[in-house]
Amino acid sequence: AQSVTQLDSHVSVSEGTPVLLRCNYSSSYSPSLFWYVQHPNKGLQLLLKYTSAATLVKGINGFEAEFKKSETSFHLTKPSAHMSDAAEYFCVVSGPYTGGFKTIFGAGTRLFVKA
């Protein structure tokens, strides 16, 4: 069975300060993990992906995430927030299940960036 939990429904940071969006997962298999970003009234854009290569994954727009198997976590970070980072962020786990693959979305974390 697979599940994904985003620990914060919303996070507020000031521009120029670090961003931390937390994600924990549960999977019976070695999962693939993703972070997507969704700006208002837009589709989802892939930020980064983990597929069992390096545990520290770098994505677009200065974001990165570290896969920690012992903690079953895949937290998203950015050293310095920008106003344009304000959006909804989804942590996604994907892995095999009977009949194919299952992709499960976390509930989302809304990131607010204050000037």
Partner 1 sequence: DTEVTQTPKHLVMGMTNKKSLKCEQHMGHRAMYWYKQKAKKPPELMFVYSYEKLSINESVPSRFSPECPNSSLLNLHLHALQPEDSALYLCASSQGSTARTDPDPRFKNIQYFGAGTRLSVL
* Residues found near partner 1 in the complex (CB under 8 A): 32, 34, 36, 41-46, 49, 51-52, 90, 94, 96, 99-101, 103, 105-108
Judged by beta carbon, residue 51 or residue 61, the one nearer partner 1 is 51
Three-state helix/strand/coil letters over 23-51: EEEECCCCCEEEEEEECCCCCEEEEEEEC
Judged by beta carbon, residue 108 or residue 113, the one nearer partner 1 is 108
Burial of 71 from C-beta contacts in 10 A (0-12 / 13-18 / 19+) = exposed
91 within 8 A of 74, measured Cβ to Cβ: yes
Judged by beta carbon, residue 51 or residue 55, the one nearer partner 1 is 51
Three-class DSSP category at 85: helix
Q: Whole-number minimum distance, CB 16 to partner 1, in Å?
A: 27
Judged by beta carbon, residue 62 or residue 96, the one nearer partner 1 is 96
Beta bridge partners of 20: 77
Q: Kindly give the residue spans of alpha helices, DSSP state H, lying in the chain.
A: none
Q: Whole-number minimum distance, CB 17 to partner 1, in Å?
A: 25
Q: Whole-number minimum distance, CB 55 to partner 1, in Å?
A: 15
Q: Whole-number minimum distance, CB 84 to partner 1, in Å?
A: 17
